[in-house]
Structures are given as structure tokens and as C-alpha cells.
Structure 1
Amino acid sequence: MQPHLRTLTQDDIDSAVLHTLQTKRLPSRPARAAEAVRASVVEIIAYPKAAEKPAVAEKKAEPNGPAGPGGKAPAENQNPASPKADSQKDEQPKADIAPPDSKRADNDKARDLARNGDQAGKGDQANKDEPANKGEKADKEKGDKADKGEKADKGDGKDKGDERVNIGSGVVITDQGVILTNYHVIAGASRLRIRFYDGHQSDATVIGAQPEKDLAVIKASSLPDDLPAATLGSSRNLVPGDEVVAVGFPFGIGPSVSSGVVSGLDREFASEEHQQDLDHLIQFDAAANPGNSGGPLVNMNGEVVGIVTAILNPTDAKTFVGIGFATTIESAGNAVGISPF
């Protein structure tokens, strides 16, 4: 005998929904939007050209060579004194045996000092002053090298040999590993390293760039399993006040999520550092800092509507004060020759 099945009513459905809302905490709209794109956001580490570092090293080694205790300059100053030292060693035993020879050696030494005059004085003064001054410079250079090493460790602790790195963000736009980012993130780099959401790392190459729009496209040489591409949306439906989230790696920390609203549309921004005049930008107030460049600006549907490009700060701090700019996804796609739809 089968139990009688009761037909569900609207009251039953409403009661079930209410029970779920009361007993389970649902993620916020920004959290859902960030989760939708999280696996498609990558960290980009740009290493400087190798040719630059030997030049710097040679320039630093140049003052150390002559200034060092075994350098050329001290050796030249010491050479004129070497015969005197040898003659004094040879003549010392004679002084013990015959005092008149000692007086003759003293007279010879006096004549040598008189003949050399200022040269001997200058040589001694140079020998005293130069090592001290060069020692201070060497200490200062060691401090500079230590500072550079600390910065490199912060950028990528595994690559100790690189003095400095540039860290930015990017967003995967195809499942083949094509990544959209800012041009200033990869400009002047000899090597690019990508870190994916699961920790997988890969080298990357530049396959397209438009410096005047501060946009670039790179491609990873190896990919993690099941790499998802971000869903590209449209900025045409945005209005001031719409919620957005910025996802990226500020100061190399991340992926980090910040939320805010669209503050304005069709903005212009002139970059003094990179000499670019950017237009048709989205202004937003979600926190963005150095390292966020190239990361996605996402709407509440989890769609990428812009690429975080710049922040405005009237001081030299270069940190966020409430005004960020993103290139629209339409402009980004057109600039690099890829349709965003």
C-alpha cells in the first residue's frame, strides 16, 4: 500500500524558502560576483631586462676597484715606497753592526724625502683619506643592494637574482591561456611569469599590445587543469551607483577583492608617468592600489566590464584615496583586436 502523495502548494514553497533564509547565510552580491571571476584572475610578475643589471653592476664596481685595499690606486701610491722599505730592511742589520752606516742610510732617506716632497705627502694623504671615503661609499652601496634585494624578495622570493620586479594583475579571457592586462605592467620586461589561482606557474609571451591605450595581451606557455575563462559583459548598461568589485594583487597580495560603486562614466585621465591620455573610462571607488593594474572590474552578475588601469592621488604616495579608473571591456577588446562578445 503506497502512501498518499500530498500536492505541494504555494504556502509549502514559501515556507521552505523562508526556512532556508532563516537557517543558512547566503553570500553577498559582491562575494558571488568575486567568486565567479576568482579562478580567472592571475598575478603577473615582470622581470627587468638582463642587460640593465650588468651595466649597473659595472658602474658600482668601478669606484670599488681603485678604492679598495687591493685596488690599483693604492698599489701605485705604495710602489714608490716599496724600494725604501726594502732598503730599510737591507740596511737594518748594518745599523746593528756599524753605526756610521746607519747615519749614511738616514742621510739617503732624508734626500729621498726632500726629492719627492709634496708627492710623498700627497700619496700618504691619499692613502689615508681614500680608503675611508671609499669604505663609506662601499657601505652605502651594500645598503642599497640590501634594499634592492628586499624588494625582489617581496616580489618573488624564489628568484633572488633579480633586483626588482613589477607586479600586476591580469584576467584570463580564453581557455587557451590568453590574458588581458595593462601595458605598463609588462613594459620593458625581459621575462613574464604568471601565477594562476591554483598556484600553477608559467612563463608568458606578449602577443599584442597598444601602449597608447595602456593595454596588452599575453599568453601563458602552460596552463593548469580546467582553466576557466572569465565571462565578459558590457559596460553600456552601467550607471553611477551600480555595485562593482575589483579583483587583483595589490602589492603582490591576493587575489584580493574590494567592493564599491561606479562613481562616473566616460572619464578622462592623463598619466604623467607613462605619458598616456586615456578616455572613456569607468570611475569607481572600490579600493585599488599598485598591483591591481590589469585586474578585472566586475559587475554583480560576475561579468568583467572593465580593466583596472589607474588611480588618482594628488600626492606622491601612489596609493588609493577613493578614485580609480578602469578601461571599458569594449575599449580593451577593440584595442587588442579581440571582440569581447
Structure 2
Amino acid sequence: MRRPARYSPSPRGPQPDEAAMPTPSPSAEAAAGDPAPVQARDRWQPGRRAFAALLVAVVALGGASAYLWQRPPGGQQLTQKDIDAAVLKTLQTQTLPSQTTRAADIIRPSVVRVVSYGAEKQTPAAKTEKRGRNMARGKPPEAAEPPGEVERGIGTGVVIVDKGVILTNLHVVAGAEKIKVTFFDGLESVATVTSVQPENDLAVLQAQKIPDDLMAASMRSTADLRPGDQVAAVGFPFGIGPSVSSGVVSGLKRSFQSPEGRQELSNLIQFDAAANPGNSGGPLINMDGEVLGIVTAILNPTHQRTFIGIGFAVPIENAASAVGSPPF
């Protein structure tokens, strides 16, 4: 049975008179017809958001136990002051992973490398990307492709259904004669385009082979997203990766026109986490490792195709609709 994409609803603050309302019994909820998918979603989400708190507690308690174990035996009863001192000592001496590290660890099993093959593009942007890929591999900038399959472009994708359904940018795979994706465990598979959404530069891929333990990313509504919120971009800039860069949301509802002037995208998330060619199609995530959008463009006043601090992502609401699954 095909497992649907997973969505995480926006947090909702307490409503007026909500505290005074009686809590419905399970039988009453069933009678009201509360849909099962919402119940499943609500059960899944708190556990993931509690990951950071649980990790801190485990480390702190582990360190506290070690500290208390070293106390000389004397038959003295431990006091709350002893426990507080042990926890404080642990927090001062143990290095905990950053929020970005935890978020990247959550999303990494769902991020894939996307390579398109075919006739080599001759646009200035394509030539710049090729030079960047060569330099990233330690080759001369103008080195020719090896005989056989010619890499037309490299990008990123994110698994949204654990049956191998992948979201990426349309410009990464457009015109390709063959597409290959590489999963987190190194498994490589041919993929085919199953649908496209040109107005948002999105494409949906289906991988022919998938890892046994493939994990789909969780998607999060952008309804409560605000400028200043922390985000991270995960992908394969110039084929290097998976790479992680962090920053904040710089703005919302932005518009962007491609350098060639062929397309204008709207309702974009603007962010300042570093992104470069190859990040296209990768996830923009929050600090819970949930996908907020699909990285699709960087602003460049020149043809150098280097990051100047402004990137754009298609909100996940638009991206999910590309697979016929409006999430929110």
C-alpha cells in the first residue's frame, strides 16, 4: 500500500474560551468523524519536535550520573543541590550539537543527489556550472567530460514519499536524456519524470530502485513563517555534498525572474543561507528538520553565478501540489 507524504501542521495558539471547553472523549471524537490522517500526523509530530529536548536530557543525566558515581561513599543522601550541581557541571563540560546539526541529521536520509545526462548545455550559466564542478573535483576548469554519458547538470532532490517519489527543480532535469539519483546510503538509481509544474520550476521524479530503509521528509506549513526564523539549506553545490548552510528567512512573497528572462517566479521565500548551483531542488528546512520549501534560485547581478546573500525557495505548499497532494 502506497504511503502518503507526511505533513506537519502549523502550531496553533490557544483560542479564547478554549480552556473552558470540555475535552471530548475518544468516543465523541470518533462520532464527530475526526479523520485518521490528522490523528496520525498529530501523534508523529510532537515526538520529532521533542528530539532536541530528549537529547539534552539524556546527555545531562548521563553526565550527572557519572559525576555522582565519583562521589566518595559515605552513606550521605543526595540532595537536590547535589543533583543541580551535577547537571550544571555536565552542561558546562559537554558540547551539545547545534540546532542546525540536529536539523541536518533529521533531513539527511531524505536528500538525494540528482544528475541529468544528455547534450551539454551551451548557455553562459551552464558553462559556469561546468567550470565549478570541474574545480570541485580538482580538475582544470575547462576540462572536457569523459566519453560516454555527459553530465548536463547536477542538482538536489528531496524524498517526499518513501516509495521513491522525489521533488526537485524542473531546470535541473529539463531536456535530459537520462536522470540518475543517488540516495543517502550511496545507492544509485535511474529516475523518470512523472509530472512537472513549470510555473514553480518543479519536477517530480520516481526512482526505479530505492533503499530498504528510505525515509520521507516531513513537510511544514509556511503559514507561520516569519522573517528572522532560522533555516538551513541542504544540497549538493557544484556536486559537493551533502552540504549544509544555515541562515534566516530574509523575506516572504518575493518574486524572481530568471537571468535569461524566460520565467518569473512569485510567492517565494527569500533566505540568506548560502546556496550555489547544485543546491537547486534541495530542501530549505527549519530547525526541526522539516521542509519549508524547495531551493530554486539565487540572485546574481552578473553571470558569475556565485552566492551574494540572496536565495529563493518555492514554498512547500506549492511544491506539494506538484504531486497532487496539497498538504495544508
TM range (shorter): 0.5 to 0.7
1:36 maps to which of 82, 102, 106 = 106
Determine whether 1:179 maps to 2:166: yes
Name stretches of at least 5 consecutive residues in structure 2 with no aligned partner: 1-74, 122-138
Normalising by structure 1, report the TM-score: 0.65
Determine whether 1:315 maps to 2:308: no
Determine whether 1:198 maps to 2:185: yes
CA contact (8 A) 2:173 2:179 kept: yes
**Distance change in 2, residues 1:149/1:314 (3 Å):** closer
1:255 maps to which of 215, 232, 242 = 242
1:303 maps to which of 287, 290, 299 = 290
Identity %: 60
In terms of fraction of residues, the more helix-rich structure is: 1
Letter of the aligned partner of 1:41 in structure 2?
Answer: V
The whole-number CA distance in structure 2 between the counterparts of 1:267 and 1:240 is 12
The whole-number CA distance in structure 2 between the counterparts of 1:303 and 1:311 is 21
Normalising by structure 2, report the TM-score: 0.67
> What's the counterpart of residue 280 of structure 2?
293
> What's the counterpart of residue 264 of structure 2?
277
The whole-number CA distance in structure 1 between the counterparts of 2:192 and 2:166 is 10
> What's the counterpart of residue 72 of structure 2?
none
**Distance change in 2, residues 1:286/1:12 (3 Å):** same
1:152 maps to which of 145, 153, 168 = 145
**Distance change in 2, residues 1:152/1:165 (3 Å):** farther
Query: Does the residue aligned with 2:218 lie in a helix, a strand or coil?
Result: coil
The whole-number CA distance in structure 2 between the counterparts of 1:225 and 1:7 is 51
Letter of the aligned partner of 1:36 in structure 2?
Answer: I
Query: Does the residue aligned with 1:181 lie in a helix, a strand or coil?
Result: strand
The whole-number CA distance in structure 2 between the counterparts of 1:304 and 1:6 is 51
1:168 maps to which of 152, 155, 166 = 155
Q: Show CA shifts across 1:248-298 (max 9, x none).
A: 000000000011111101101111437221111000011100000000001
- Residue 213 (structure 1) shift: 1.4
Name stretches of at least 5 consecutive residues in structure 1 with no aligned partner: 53-145, 154-159
**Distance change in 2, residues 1:175/1:164 (3 Å):** closer
CA contact (8 A) 2:204 2:322 kept: no
CA contact (8 A) 1:210 1:336 kept: no
- Residue 162 (structure 1) shift: 2.4
RMSD: 2.7
The whole-number CA distance in structure 1 between the counterparts of 2:141 and 2:178 is 18
Letter of the aligned partner of 1:321 in structure 2?
Answer: I
> What's the counterpart of residue 93 of structure 2?
23
> What's the counterpart of residue 188 of structure 1?
175
